[in-house]
Structure 1
Amino acid sequence: MAGIAQVTQGGPKTFTPADNEVIKGGQLVEARSGGRIGVAAAASTKVLGVALTDAVAPEDFPAADGTDALGRTVVSMVPVPTTVAVAYGGTEVKVTYSANASFGDKLVATTAGTVAPAGATPDARTIVGVCTEPAGVVVATKAVGLMRIA
């Protein structure tokens, strides 16, 4: 092979949400059909990374009541985002924890795009990252804390 073109290096990478998906910054996202993404389900093996911004599917804009799916007023000067930047591959980001976690815990996806400790014998395909909150600090349930994406 003579050579290849580099596509990305370290991200983020931009994706379009699937129809009827509302994605908020800080949620884990997973691959969906047609090259689109959605909020990651619990124990997902298709997690791509963490959304850095909010977005809705292009089909879902504008809402009939004058607000978008994120509850923001639709104003022609302020477009509703229909793409989302996704961090991956070693990036450290803030995420919401659905269970208490300690520094160094391996993490898995849980409901609504949140994370929790993986436990003693996790399926390796479900590990999404590592808790990187400062040493000795426990991230409490429903708290926001740092995670390094796997």
Structure 2
Amino acid sequence: MPGIVQVTQGGPKTFTPADNQVIKGGQLVEARTGGRIGVAAAGSLKVLGVALTDALAPEDFPGANTTDALGRTVVAAVAVPTTVAVAYAGTEVKVTYAADAAFGDKLVAAANGQVTPAGATPDARTIVGICTEPAGVDVSEKAVGLIRLA
């Protein structure tokens, strides 16, 4: 077999959001049909990683002929991104926690692209990472903490 070309080493990898998906940096994202991504659902088996940037699906981008209530053309000063850089496997990033987590807890997807402790007997396919916030995460004090992606 001749040599092969390496596609990616350590990420991030860029994806396009699925139609009607608004993705924000720090959310877990999952694979969707057509090779696109969306915000991960609770207990997802298809988590790809954590979005590092914000983006809209290309179909959802306001067209050039968008007008306000007075009929004036609306122009955005900054282009709206339609692709998302996604960190995965071994990368350490900050995410939003849905529940308290201790340093070293295994984590799974919660609703809205957040993470939550896996509990005592999780399905191994749902583990998305490990809490690496040294003091753990107390959501009553702060909801954002470190995760090392699985």
| Alignment TM-score > 0.5, same fold | yes
- The answer as to 2:36 corresponding to 1:24 is no
* Matched length: 141
2:145 matched to which residue of 1? 145
- Cα root mean square deviation, aligned: 1.5
| TM-score for both structures, normalised by structure 2 | 0.90
1:54 matched to which residue of 2? 54
| 1:138 to partner: Cα distance | 2.9
Identity %: 78
| 1:78 to partner: Cα distance | 1.5
Opposite residue 5 of structure 1, the aligned amino acid is V
| Distance in 1 (alpha carbons) for counterparts of 2:113 and 2:138 | 16
Aligned partner of residue 140 in structure 1, secondary structure: coil
- The answer as to 2:80 corresponding to 1:113 is no
| Distance in 1 (alpha carbons) for counterparts of 2:91 and 2:116 | 18
* Structure 1 residue ranges, 4+ long, deviating more than 3 angstroms after superposition: 63-66
| 1:74 to partner: Cα distance | 4.8
Aligned partner of residue 101 in structure 1, secondary structure: coil
**1:37-58, Cα deviation, whole Å (9 max, x unpaired):** 0000000000000000000000
Check whether the contact 1:129–1:147 (CA below 8 A) recurs between aligned residues. Answer: yes
Q: How does 1:1-150 map to 2 (within 5 A)?
A: 1-62=1-62, 64=66, 74-75=75-76, 77-134=77-134, 137-141=135-139, 143-150=143-150
**1:109-148, Cα deviation, whole Å (9 max, x unpaired):** 00000000000000000000000011xx130226100000
Consecutive unaligned residues in structure 1, runs of 5 or more: 67-72
Larger radius of gyration: 2
The structure whose residues are more often strand, as a share, is 1
* Distance change in 2, residues 1:126/1:65 (3 Å): farther
Consecutive unaligned residues in structure 2, runs of 5 or more: 69-73
Opposite residue 148 of structure 2, the aligned amino acid is R
